[in-house]
Amino acid sequence: MLTIMRVPTFLLLLAAIHLPAQEAPPALTEYMGREIAQTMHWKGAEWLMRRVREQEEGPSKMREQLQVKPGMVVCDMGCGNGYHTLPLAAMVGEKGKIFAVDVQPEMIEMLRQNITRKELKNIEPIVGLYHDPKLPPNTCDMVLLVDVYHEFSHPVQMLAGMRAALKPDGLLVLVEFRAEDDAVPIKPEHKMSKAQIHKEMNANGFELKREFDGLPWQHLMFFGKAEKK
């Protein structure tokens, strides 16, 4: 007869404590011929709320083009202090939900203060990792990235995580300053061309569904999951 040795519970707990943590892959400084920009520091959060942003970027028009409906689940990736998160929460309504993800805990803390002040119940703040958005799988109707994708030090891992989080018909939405337009007064590493966006999205399992060219400074492009070949 086979005898099974029982391991004391405290030894199991001790073993778990000493399990090595999964290490993040090395950060990139360049991806597919594009220089990766530095992440905007949380101390610059006030710039996100500048009054001239409406004239410069047309964020209200951008959010209209998203076609967000009540009850939807939307992720504001790189949410900062909540410039887009708060109006998106109103758009999805009480039956909807917003995942608000940022890698800087200070940004998330500012967002929490805004949520408390406005007494919002449909926003879930998430402190993500540079290589993991920390989103539950198959939950999001839309993942919105406003002026943030070009800063990802781990674009492949982040795109894979967001792709897994999207529902089958969900959309990944990129808003990026136009590299094709020299009149857009943004540093080159914080811009992206449509050709570069297509190259990177197609290489990571996404295909263009629609786009909007009516913003003052930015591309607005909607990507869905490409069919596996």
| Chosen CATH of 54-225 out of 3.40.50.150, 3.90.25.10, 3.40.50.300, 3.40.50.970 | 3.40.50.150
**What distance in Å separates the CA atoms of residue 159 and residue 205, rounded to the nearest whole number?**
9
Q: What stretches of the chain adopt beta strand conformation (E)?
A: 30-31, 34-35, 73-77, 97-102, 123-127, 140-146, 166-178, 191-192, 206-212, 218-225
User: What pLDDT score was predicted for residue 1?
Assistant: 32
pLDDT, residue 13, reads 34
- pLDDT value at position 53? 87
Query: What are the residue boundaries of the structural domains of the chain, listed by start?
Result: 54-225
User: Nearest Cα to 101, choosing from 131, 126, 65?
Assistant: 126
Cα–Cα–Cα angle for 118, 80, 147, rounded to 5 degrees: 130
Distances (CA, A) of 69 to 8, 90, 120, 144, 168: 53, 10, 17, 14, 17
Give the pLDDT of residue 23: 77
pLDDT value for 11: 33
Name the strand (E) or helix (H) holding 62. Answer: helix 59-66
| pLDDT by 10s per residue, the chain, length 229 | 333 333 333 333 333 333 334 578 999 999 999 999 998 766 665 656 667 889 889 999 999 999 999 999 999 999 999 999 999 999 999 999 999 999 999 999 999 999 999 999 999 999 999 999 999 999 999 999 999 999 999 999 999 999 999 999 999 999 999 999 999 999 999 999 999 999 999 999 999 999 999 999 999 999 999 987 6
